[in-house]
Amino acid sequence: MEAKIQTIIDKYGADKGFLVPILQDVQKEFKYLPREALTHVSVYLGVPISRLFEVATFYKAFSLTPRGKHELSLCLGTACHVRGAPLIGDNIERTLGIKAGETSSDLEFTFETVNCLGACALGPILVVDGEYHGNISITKSNKILKKLGKKVQIDEEN
């Protein structure tokens, strides 16, 4: 782990002004920010560990706990909400066996809800591993989960 982190730090010339991009790259590498990684970044850049935790907890994009192989984000903004997003979210939670904001114990899935994804005309929106899926329904979300390897009962309503 230390060698990978060192490579990331060196990419930015060990400049603490690049703290956020360094943490982004560490998270991309490990799917979260492991404590050991933060400790190494802290020591090498000469930045107090408390500052790293401050940054990591301020930005929602960072996670201090492991994230799943597949990341799902469901928009619950007004346009998506009135088009059924809460029911879709309930179905995803039941199917994955986790609540929004959690990661499955096998580290296959992380599911979260967000306030807006900025694509209201396509709502409800589900982002899966960075890919936007518009006009999502329970059936469509089940098909997506099935493609990701989750056993799902699919009704052929749409």
Residue 158: which pLDDT band, with cuts at 50, 70 and 90?
very low
| pLDDT tens-digit readout, 104-130 | 999 999 999 999 988 999 999 999 999
Give me the architecture of the 70-147 domain, per CATH. Answer: 3-Layer(aba) Sandwich (3.40)
In DSSP terms, 74 is beta-bridged to 113, 126
Under DSSP, the state recorded for 144 is H
pLDDT, mean of residues 129-139: 95
pLDDT the model gives residue 14: 85
pTM of the model: 0.78
The domain ranges of the chain are 2-58, 70-147
Kindly tell me if the per-residue pLDDT of 143 is higher than 70: yes
| pLDDT tens-digit readout, 51-109 | 999 999 998 889 999 999 999 999 999 999 999 999 999 999 999 999 999 999 999 99
pLDDT the model gives residue 69: 92
Burial per residue of 7-36, b for 16 or more beta-carbon CB atoms within 10 angstroms, e otherwise? ebbeeeeeeeebbeebbbbbbebbbbbbee
Q: Distances from the Cα of 72 to the Cαs of 26, 68, 86, in angstroms?
A: 20, 9, 14
CA distance 51 to 99: 30
pLDDT the model gives residue 152: 66
pLDDT the model gives residue 85: 97
CA distance 157 to 21: 44
